[in-house]
Structure 1
Amino acid sequence: MTLPLNDAGAVRFGDAPLRIEDVVALSQRRSAAVLSEDPEFRARITRGADFLDRVLREDGVIYGVTTGYGDSCTVNIPMDLVAELPHHLYTYHGCGLGRFLDPQETRAVLAARLASLSRGMSGVSLGLLQGLEQLLVHDVLPMIPAEGSVGASGDLTPLSYVAAVLCGEREVLHAGRRRPAAEALAEIGLTPLQLRPKEGLAIMNGTAVMTALACLAWDRADYLCRMATRLTAFNVLASDGNAHHFDEVLFAAKPHPGQSRIAARLRHDLHSDRPPRNEQRLQDRYSLRCAPHVIGVVEDALPFFRQLIETELNSANDNPLIDPEREQILHGGHFYGGHIAFAMDGLKNAIANLADLLDRQMALLVDTRFNHGLPSNLSAAPSHRAAINHGLKALQISVSAWTAEALKLTMPASVFSRSTECHNQDKVSMGTISARDCLRVIELTEQVVAALLIVARQGIELRRRAGGLAVFGDEAAAMYEDLCQRIPLVQEDRALDGELRQLCEWQREQVWDLYGHD
């Protein structure tokens, strides 16, 4: 997939806003992280840190610098202990549990935090930004537990593992193995940081984890939207369906832009400008006829969700913020991840509906009452072997299981705010939980798509044998022929789990170019 990067082979921090595609490219090691050399950018970063130093020398009261954190903000920190406070912040937040973020997710977190701190309103030093840059450059990845954030004050607990690693503590994944952070930093020539007074808070008090996961979720959801469209075209052909359900004039009467775009893609795949073949069946069942209306919700929602995610990605979202121009310290709540929570809750709902749509399409295709002349369970076994072969019977059961689990996870996490930390954090976003849920729904839907790719490969071949297949569009035909090379026809019963895993991996790699940039 060709991505619009900021520079050839590099994503530059501090020069221009980042896009979702930049974070994805960094997460996959297809681009390098580069901190801007622009003198004005570097001067702005330095001014913010110098202003904080001056306020500190003049005995100013700065939240999280000369006071405790959260509910402890009324506790004044003696000047001889101020330097130790950031160390205590990341130390006591070392209580995350659950799985560790995978390498792609972790790189995305580092990118999201660096993007935010590069806004120049967090009072951090250039050395801290360079430290984050070097973790990305050398692929030194903090071991970040996925669970423990309520999404305000940002992703405190998971981001404490980033702060600790920059200081040479805890563990990292580097060169393919888990090892002590201090050992990996020494190997790449990076001196552990002694965090300046606000730097622990600046690293941790933000929305980097939820935003990073949201970038990855958006990218995978966009591809799933395209896959669901192509699979619908395949399934219309396999079921000998009516391609005229996607007529241009019909969709002009209900002109949601994304829905209309899905219908146009289907027309392109199905060559539906040809005369109708099947005069007896005027209307297919809803999972085929209404596919643009289901997939179109995702297509129409994606630009809105992109705007929410990219605005968060390019924001200063810790507290307090430092205005180096007016020399002001601004106390607020930009660590609240409500926009990401809303985007992820909405996206997981829309994606789960794709799983449900494809599950229903499969149910039609394996059932002789509804598949218009195809064999039961799409078995391709010869007649003398048919009695002992079961086709895709078990695969349909698994698809139902994955779909049910995806649908179960659509409960919005953002409405489950819990009052925490002595009622200081009394309204929280749950954005990171929403993002993790969304990624799980996406994973389950990718499994459904993997199964439907086998269904399409099987169903279209069986329709061809029956002599009833219409003509593909060129791109759809090319993808189908490629699929046939990758997945053998299921004639004798065989275990499909290895092929399903490979199909899931190919989706993650986006090996099929679907509809370009229409």
Structure 2
Amino acid sequence: MAEHDLINDVSLDGHADADNAAAEAIVIGGHRLTIEDVVAIAERRVPVALSDDPAWRSRIERGADFLRRHLASGATVYGVNTGYGDACVVDVPMDLVEALPLQLTRYHGCGMGVHLDDAQTLAVIAARLNSLAYGFSGVRPVLLDRLADLINHRVLPRIPSEGSVGASGDLTPLSYVAAALVGERDVLFEGQLRDASGVWAQLGHAPLTLAPKEGLALMNGTAVMTGLACLAFARADHLTRLVARLTALSTVALDGRAAHFDEMLFEAKPHAGQAEAAAWIREDLTGRADTPGHRLQDRYSIRCAPHVIGVARDALTWVRRDVENELNSANDNPLIDPDGERVLHGGNFYGGHIAFAMDSLKVAVANLADLMDRQLALLVDDKFNNGLPRNLSGASPARAPINHGFKAVQISSSAWTAEALKLTMPASVFSRSTEAHNQDKVSMGTIAARDCLRVLELTAQVAAAHTLATVQAMQLRLRLNETTVVPAPLHAFAERVTAQSPFVDEDRALEYDLRALTARIVDCALIDDFRGAPIV
């Protein structure tokens, strides 16, 4: 591909090359997955393969075998020969036990809202597959095989985004994954909406008949919130790098002071995240010397940018820990111990860690939107931008009276920022008692993850607006002073942006440019892990 992304020299379009079809598979079973593994699966860059370790497969088989024997002995197991939730006191006759899992998938088919997109759907399936592969769920190997088939053949259940309270797991949205396996409801396949049973026939498989507990194992877990959280982490990680770069570029455009990012300042206040952000900005400003004549101190949105970005960087460290712990957990109920041959009734489906992580991350990300919006406001205002034209207009003097440059872009950026800030209300504090007060304290983790992704989407729009405006401002600064030092990383970055969105000399509609750039920012967040990666 000829194009390059705005941070690293990687694909812009966010889609895999055909060559990636032969990429080495990510192995499920017997080891921990990372957020980056889930992102790679979600972006269709790698297939999955179940472990070929005989000990791992034996563990899966022993769990399913023990559950069968346990039931045959007359034992009572929640959700296997009892009703669900508050109906756990209802005994299910043995002649109906086989039918019970299908009933669960059907009555939870009441999701609403927009459907998860392809990447989100694949992330959800990967998270559910990995959890079941820990061997505490009592499912058969064939169930894991079919989940892997959903990923590898891109058989994508149409999962509505609304309807989960995050405990007892993501029941309603995950019912659409279970329904796809049994050949019910619609799936996306080869770009078309298809009946699931017809797709399985085309692939040479019969729809799966769920064994006792397999419906519950598929649905009673945190896979939706966890899959979405993996994507949110990757996007937030990328945005912190982009905001640091835009801060450096804004410093040049405003003729600001590189000394605000001196290493000693951040040694004196040793938060690792802000030191990291300052180092990125300092590296981007290498070779730039401060000149007298302007303010002794730049305004907070420039001078304190590492401190704002640093909060998000430090938050990402523990967000990674909690998201990856959830990803690599058995989070359904009950759990089946294949070694001790015990059935453990508990609450591992509770998504509190994901809820808190996503509530916290969306606050940190919204602060990035606010930071960029403040920087953009300085750039467009000729009272504060150290001599740049009003609204960053590039028009000739004769045409200047009727040109308004980035005036409307700044207004739109302010609107997107306000909406992002509004969405920072924590979802996790809005627990509702549901299901006859059996689910009387719930996590709201999936709502928190969805909110976080929406905040990230809005922040990417702000970043796109800020990117176009800051590159325009840098070019205007060079017009004012040809000797302005633009360090090489910033110069290369600006050239790549300008190649896609030319300098605005005469007013034009910028919607297409903004949409294209926003898509690139979001897509690039799902390509590489930018921690420690070179920024040019």
TM-score, structure 2 normalization: 0.94
Of residues 310, 314, 320, the one that matches 1:296 is: 310
CA 453–116 in structure 1, closer or farther in 2 if over 3 Å, else same: same
1:227-376 correspondence to structure 2 within 5 Å: 227-271=242-286, 275-376=289-390
Which of 409, 413, 432 in structure 1 is aligned with 2:423?
Answer: 409
Aligned to 2:198: 183
Q: Report Cα offsets for 1:156-179 as digits up to 9, x if no partner.
A: 000000111100000101110111
CA contact (8 A) 2:391 2:406 kept: yes
Q: Does 1:119 align with 2:99?
A: no
Structure-2 separation of matches of 1:280 and 1:95: 61
Does residue 153 of the first structure (1) align with residue 168 of the second (2)?
Answer: yes
- CA separation in 1, counterparts of 2:281 and 2:374? 18
Higher relative contact order by CA 8 Å / sep ≥ 6: 1 or 2?
2
1:49-85 C-alpha deviation (Å, 9 max, x unpaired): 0000001111110110010111000000000000000
1:467 and 2:487 aligned = no
Distance 2:108 2:496 in 1: 49
Secondary structure of 1:178's aligned partner: strand
Query: Could you tell me which residue of structure 1 aligns to residue 4 of structure 2?
Result: none
1:401 CA displacement: 0.3
2:386 alignment partner AA? H
Q: CA RMSD in A?
A: 1.7
Distance in 2 separating the partners of 1:139 and 1:258: 38
> Matched residues in 2 for 1:151 and 1:469: separation?
57
Report the alpha carbon displacement of residue 189 of structure 1 after superposing the two structures with TM: 1.6
Tell me the CA shift for residue 485 of structure 1. Answer: 1.4
1:218 to 233, 249, 259: 233
Q: How far 1:395 sits from its partner (Å)?
A: 0.5
Question: In the alignment, what sits opposite 1:102?
Answer: 117
1:516 CA displacement: 4.4
1:342-400 per-residue CA deviation (whole Å, 9 max, x = no partner) reads: 00000000000000000000111100100010000000001111111110111011000
String of CA shifts for 1:310-348, please: whole Å, max 9, x gaps: 000000000000010000000100000000000000000
Q: Which runs of 4+ in 1 moved over 6 A?
A: 511-515
**Residue 178 of structure 2 aligns with which residue?**
163
Partner residue of 1:174 out of 189, 193, 196: 189
Q: Which residue among 153, 157, 160 is the counterpart of 1:142?
A: 157
Q: Residue type of the partner of 1:475?
A: P
- Number of the residue aligned with 2:14: none
1:362 and 1:146 mapped to 2: Cα distance? 33
Q: Which runs of 5+ in 2 are unaligned?
A: 1-7, 12-19
Equivalent in 23, 38, 60 of residue 75 of structure 2: 60
3-state SS of 1:179 partner: strand
Residue matched to 1:37: 52
1:515 to 1:275, Cα distance in 2 relative to 1, 3 A: farther
- Aligned residue-pair number: 515
Aligned AA for 1:136?
Answer: I
Question: Is the counterpart of residue 487 in structure 1 residue 507 in structure 2?
Answer: no
CA shift, 1:469, in A, is 6.1
CA distance in 2, matches of 1:301, 1:280: 35
Q: Distance in 2 between matches of 1:240 and 1:61?
A: 73
**Structure 1 residue 509: deviation in Å?**
2.6
Secondary structure at the aligned position of 2:187 is classed as strand
Q: Name which of 433, 436, 457 aligns with 2:450.
A: 436
Structure 2 counterpart of 1:215, one-letter code: C
Contact 2:27 2:51 in 1 (8 A): yes
C-alpha distance in 2, partners of 1:449/1:225? Answer: 10
Q: Deviations over 1:233-277 (max 9, x none)?
A: 1111101111110111111110101100111111111126x5421
- Distance in 1 separating the partners of 2:454 and 2:104: 30
Partner amino acid, structure 2, of 1:373 = G
* Distance in 2 separating the partners of 1:61 and 1:469: 81
Amino acid at match of 1:346: S
The separation in 2 between residues aligned to 1:458 and 1:326, in whole angstroms, is 66
Per the TM alignment, residue 468 of structure 1 is displaced from its structure 2 partner at its CA by 6.2
- Alignment partner of 1:22 out of 20, 23, 37: 37
Unaligned runs of 5+ in 1: none
Distance 1:298 1:149 in 2: 27
2: CA distance between counterparts of 1:197 and 1:388? 72
- TM-score normalised to structure 1 length: 0.97
Q: Residues of 1 paired with 2:222 and 2:346: CA distance? A: 14
Aligned to 2:16: none
Q: Give the structure 1 partner of residue 28 of structure 2.
A: 13
Q: What corresponds to 1:517 in structure 2?
A: 533
Contact residue 376 and residue 470 of structure 2 kept, 8 A: no
Q: Per the alignment, in what secondary structure is the counterpart of residue 454 of structure 2?
A: helix
Secondary structure of the residue aligned to 1:369 is coil
CA distance in structure 2 between the aligned counterparts of 1:115 and 1:278, rounded to whole angstroms: 58
Query: How far apart in 1 are the matches of 2:450 and 2:314?
Result: 22
**Residues 1:378 and 2:398 aligned together:** no
**Kindly tell me: are residues 495 and 35 of structure 1, through their superposed partners in 2, closer, same or farther at Cα, counting changes over 3 Å?**
same
Moved more, 124-133 or 468-477: 468-477
**Deviations, residues 142-201 of structure 1 (Å, cap 9, x unaligned):** 000000000000000000001111000001011101111111111112221110000000
| Paired residues of 1:207 and 1:336 also in contact (CA < 8 A) | yes
Check the 8 A contact 2:220/2:331 in 1, yes or no. Answer: yes
Note closer, same or farther for the CA distance 1:115–1:469 as it changes in structure 2 (3 Å cut). Answer: farther
SS in 1 for 2:95: helix
Contact 1:142-1:162 at 8 Å conserved across structures = yes
Residue 289 of structure 1: CA displacement? Answer: 0.6
> Once structures 1 and 2 are overlaid, which stretch shifts more, 179-188 or 73-82?
179-188
CA distance in 1, matches of 2:250, 2:353: 36
Flag the 1:472–1:10 CA change in 2: closer, same or farther, 3 A.
farther
Structure-1 separation of matches of 2:457 and 2:40: 19
SS at match of 2:98: helix
**Contact (CA 8 Å) 1:265, 1:515: kept in 2 or not?**
no
Q: Distance in 1 between matches of 2:206 and 2:185?
A: 15
User: Could you tell me how far apart the structure 2 residues matched to 1:470 and 1:35 are?
Assistant: 57
SS in 2 for 1:149: coil
Q: Which residue of structure 2 lines up, in the alignment, with residue 458 of structure 1?
A: 472
Q: Does the Cα contact within 8 Å between 1:269 and 1:475 map onto a contact in 2?
A: yes
> Does the C-alpha gap of structure 1 residues 469 and 296 become closer, same or farther in structure 2, counting only changes over 3 Å?
farther
Give the distance between the partners of 2:93 and 2:38, measured in 1 at CA: 40
- The one-letter code sitting in structure 1 at the alignment partner of 2:307 is H
Mark the CA change 1:280 to 1:491 in structure 2 (over 3 Å): closer, same or farther.
Answer: closer
SS at 2:216's partner residue?
helix
Contact 1:258-1:296 within 8 A present in 2 as well: yes
Choose the corresponding residue for 1:500, options 514, 518, 525: 514
